[in-house]
Amino acid sequence: MSDHERIRLVILGGAGVGKSCIVKRFLFNTYTDKYRSTVEDLYNREYDLGQVQLKVDILDTAGDLQFPAMRRLCIATAHAFLLVYATTSAPSFACVKRCFEEVREQRPDFQEIPIVVAGNKLDLASTHREVQIEDVSEWLYCELPKLRAKVMECSAKDDYNIKDIFRCFITLSRILRPVGEEVVGGLKRRSSAYVSASKGGRRAGSPAGLEASSSTPTSEGSGGLEVAKAKPRSRSLIRRSSRKAKQQMRDAHAEDCHVS
């Protein structure tokens, strides 16, 4: 893993749902009720996560869809998406669905892109709710293909769940992973014999054996590598035994036909 990671988070959603309020609450801990239409605002921040230095570009986009070329460029260059709707507005949730369809059309890798769908204005939901989180979850988890995504509700005004939204992207992006998961995740497709050998190492409960079978061979005498080498030989013996058994069956069948 490199010492530096850079991701671009693009925020999409309809006008007036509170996209800018979420960003400013997170970055500056400020909030205002005054509405100002956003064309495009870009914020840059660096975070020390211990293992890596994370550089984040947060792109706050327009909600009125007046700049389609700019919107396509934002979607094409994003590493993650925050799709924002208002819990008090059913049309804003319909707009989020359209935003997702734009992402799906333009990004063939959309299933691997971290996506958080956030319902803002939770502070008004008790009296003016129009979108149930169950409906959002059903759409995201049941109606769509399998995604790297999560649904959350928040309130920029009350500073509720704002930091959790951005923490969620760290998990979905898999920037910080356990060492064992990182090694396995970096492997290319392996043969069934190699997988079986690796599984045998896991059953034995030896992390060192797993690393040896998962890495490129650098020395002889590794127990994990010996298991991996022995497996194909046993498979060849099975093939020869199988061919011999089939030949015996054919010979027996030929004798039966001759007798009849």
121-178 pLDDT, tens digit per residue, is 999 999 999 999 999 999 999 999 999 999 999 999 999 999 999 999 988 987 765 4
- Cα(198)–Cα(212) distance, integer angstroms: 9
126 shares a domain with 246: no
Decide if 253 is inside a domain. Answer: yes
Q: Distance from CA of residue 174 to its chain's centroid?
A: 8
Decide if 115 is inside a domain. Answer: yes
Q: Is the pLDDT of residue 33 over 90?
A: no
Please state the domain count of the chain: 2
pLDDT band of residue 200 (cuts 50, 70, 90) is: very low
208 shares a domain with 162: no
124 shares a domain with 83: yes
Task: Please name the residue that has the structure tokens 């059913």.
Answer: 90
- Round the average pLDDT of the chain to a whole number and report it: 75
User: Rounded mean pLDDT of 239-248?
Assistant: 55
- Cα(207)–Cα(104) distance, integer angstroms: 39
Of residues 204 and 176, the one with the higher pLDDT is 176
150 shares a domain with 67: yes
pLDDT, position 184: 31
Decide if 69 is inside a domain. Answer: yes
Residue 160 CB contacts under 8 Å (≥ 6 apart), including other chains: 122, 123, 154
Taking CA atoms, 56 is separated from 5, 79, 100, 134, 199, in Å, by: 8, 10, 22, 31, 38
235 shares a domain with 153: no
22 shares a domain with 149: yes
16 and 85 Cβ atoms separated by less than 8 Å: no
73 and 22 Cβ atoms separated by less than 8 Å: no
Whether pTM exceeds 0.85: no
- Cα(54)–Cα(57) distance, integer angstroms: 10
Decide if 178 is inside a domain. Answer: no
| Residue ranges making up the domain that contains 227 | 186-259
